A and B are shown apart, each in its own frame.
Chain A
Amino acid sequence: MDVFLQIFFDGLVMGAFYSLIALGYTMVYGIIKLLNFAHGDFYMLGAFIGYALLSFITGDGGLNAGLLGIGAVFIITMIIVGLAGIGVERIAYRPLLTAPRLSILITAIGVSLSLEYASMIGWGASYKVYPIKLSKNGLEIIGAQISFAQIGLIVLSALLMLGLRLFIEKTIYGKAMRAIALDQSACSLMGINVYRIISLTFFIGAFLAAGAGIMSGVYYGTINFMMGFIIGLKAFTAAVLGGIGNITGAMIGGLVLGLVESYGTYYLGGSWKDVLAFGILILFLVFKPTGILGAKEMERM
């Protein structure tokens, strides 16, 4: 039983990362039907900008990063990357909004490569080690160990997702997003500034991915410029699993994927982890392309 629970926690940690990134995928898809393959790179960008800021306040400035410092870095990083998200949308995607979907999809791949290799030029190709070390202390729950870092990570992701949920449901901007997902041209006729809402969507998606990136850097300890690639694919799988375009679906999809991988590793062996993840993607695409929560004519967002 303790092992079963332990694997559950392991899967939850992975799932939290997948969910946060899957949200950005699903939101952008919901609004402009674009699979933003550059999305995993916002996660990488978050990790690197967080790294730069943290190195600055812990190393060069001679100050010790307290919890307050880390919190500040966290928020500043997310905002910077959020703005980068807006920039990418403005430069690369907006001119193509009316072009065929394939053009914009290929552009997304180009953006992804540009972000990756720009980071490589800026920060180098080698692995960077995060300047903070987390304590290994934790709790024991029925024989399974969970560290405070893991608890913090799961709680933080849950808060971010809850915040997003409230934003979408309770604010006027959220309402506008949901409306655009339903009918873009009707929205602009109703006086909604569609472009502004699309920018906002990119901001939120990149903002959340950056949060995941910096958490990953702090939790695992190393970052490099290709780190966004594989997790981007996994998050895409999670988004499809939950029903692409559906926000609750992305959260659930991420958690399910994390748990499947975790249990799969234990019972079938580590080499089956990716086979399971992408096997599920294929199964869903073939038999239930709308995902766990998706209906045929669903209300996206």
Chain B
Amino acid sequence: MRKHSMIALGFVLVLSLFLSACSSKTGSGDNASGDEILVGVLLPVTGNNATDGKDMLNAMKMAVEKINSDGGVLKKKIKLEVADDGCDPQMATTAANKLVSKKVVAIVGGYCSGSTLPASGVFHNANIPMIVAAANSSELPKQGYDTLFLINGLVPDQAQSGADYFKDKGAKNIAIIHDNSAYAKDLADFAKKSVEENGGKTIAFEAINPEEKDFGSLMTKLKSLKPDGTYFTGYYAAGGLMLKQFKQKGVSGSFMVGDGSYSPDIIQIAGSEAANDLLVTATPTANFIPGAEEFVNNYKSKYNLSPGPFSALSYNGMNLLVDALKRADSTDQDKLKKALKETKAFEGIGQVIEFSDKNTLNQSNFHVMKVVGGEFTLEK
């Protein structure tokens, strides 16, 4: 049995090598056939993250519809080829290979960092440019791929926006709490760095177990340290409970949470009274972006839903690709890569896109939101 499976594994490995070799050969050249330009979309449209994935796909479809009704690009219509990555690294690799074999011109998508990482490698080998609309692990740009363009702010950007807000408000002594998850720990580490670079002081750097409900003794500790601001980088369930106990104990200063807690549930869990003045560092949903009213209305009338957290970014990603195609005046991958790289002040919804030398945003799209009367509002 074991021998058979080893042989099968070897066979699959050889086959996949062969396939990827093929695809890198066919990678360059003119991939637009007939009167259509094929654009690949890599998103989790099934599984736990399907809600956000479908929402991003909706926004992309909306963008494509508008572009095509305006006459398309390079005198051709855009056609989307959707592949499901299910937020799973293995599924993502298969899906990416499928897109490569369909000879798409470029990719827009990428929701989970974990699945975007391996997929971005497949596209890099095939020399296909990818615009990542949501995934924002700092591991992505670290790979140094010239085909990968990130239009969502990264973890350090978020930490910086939080630290800057504290600085503006004159909050010097900051307590930082994370929940030991990779994401929250990462954000907390960067927040500590940013706070200290801004001349502030990290007076506490604590971890909690998000499965627990009692943060009483931790709040007592914070209270005795008298922070000017507290930053919790974990998720909303623990965030809501912590906020409630923070207010019950009467700890000084303001309470800020990261985008893992950017959900109306945090207000419900903490109670609207305790949630008042809660600060959130996040990329705002389209509802809060000035100038996005038209997008929000169109989205609502088309899908009968409110746009989700990454819909504006997905819409921007698709439009950015079209803009680059126009500037490149070709679907040749090298020209397209160059055009994307040279993007100058592209005005998307709620963000201006320009790339740094690592193909990440020059200007962070993170904002600070504030809860007023039980609702999120844009603070800064």
Contacts and interface: CB of A to CB of B under 8 A. Distances in A.
A230 B209 contact: yes
B213 A227 contact: yes
Contacts of A273: 208-209
B237 A145 contact: no
B197 interface: no
B326 interface: no
Given A147-B248, A230-B211, A269-B206, A13 B221 contact: no
B74 interface: no
Contact of A126 (B214, B265, B271): B265
A229 interface: yes
Given A7-B220, A10-B220, A222 B213 contact: yes
A266 B213 contact: no
A224 interface: yes
A7 to B, nearest CB: 6
27 contacts: A3-B224, A10-B217, A14-B217, A126-B265, A127-B237, A127-B240, A145-B249, A145-B250, A147-B248, A220-B213, A221-B244, A222-B241, A222-B269, A226-B211, A230-B209, A231-B212, A263-B217, A265-B217, A265-B218, A265-B221, A266-B220, A269-B207, A270-B177, A270-B207, A270-B221, A271-B208, A273-B209
B209 A222 contact: no
Interface string A183-227: 000000000000000000000000000000000100011101011
A3 B218 contact: no
B217 A261 contact: yes
B170 interface: no
Contacts of A14: 214, 216-217
Contacts of B212: 230-231
A129 interface: yes
Interface in B343-372: none
Contacts of B221: 265-266, 270
B52 to A, nearest CB: 15
Nearest to A265: B217
Given A13-B214, A133-B271, A216-B213, A222 B220 contact: no
A11 interface: yes
A262 interface: yes
B342 to A, nearest CB: 45
Contacts of A261: 217
A227 B240 CA distance: 15
Given A222-B269, A274-B209, A262 B241 contact: no
A136 interface: yes
Nearest to B204: A269
Interface string A9-23: 011011000000000
A271 B211 contact: no
Nearest to B205: A269
A253 B269 CA distance: 31
Best-buried of B180, B206, B207, B216 by chain A (most CB within 10 Å): B216
Given A127-B269, A270-B206, A11 B217 contact: yes
B298 interface: no
Contact of A270 (B208, B211, B213, B271): B208
A266 B217 contact: yes
B220 A270 contact: no
A10 B216 contact: yes
B51 interface: no
Given A145-B249, A216-B213, A270 B244 contact: no
A262 B212 CA distance: 13
B90 interface: no
Contacts of B208: 270-271, 273
A3 B223 CA distance: 9
A6 interface: yes
Given A221-B241, A222-B213, A222-B237, A270 B218 contact: yes
A228 B198 CA distance: 42
B68 interface: no
A38 B237 CA distance: 24
A154 to B, nearest CB: 13
Contact of A271 (B180, B217, B269): B180
B269 A6 contact: no
A162 B221 CA distance: 32
Nearest to B180: A271
B268 interface: yes
Contacts of B214: 10, 13-14, 220
A208 B63 CA distance: 58
A127 B240 CA distance: 11
B218 A221 contact: no
B206 A271 contact: yes
Contacts of A220: 213-214, 241
B216 to A, nearest CB: 4
Interface string A119-163: 000000011010001001000000001010000000000000000
A273 B269 CA distance: 24
6 closest A-B pairs by CB: A271-B207, A10-B216, A270-B206, A262-B217, A265-B217, A230-B211
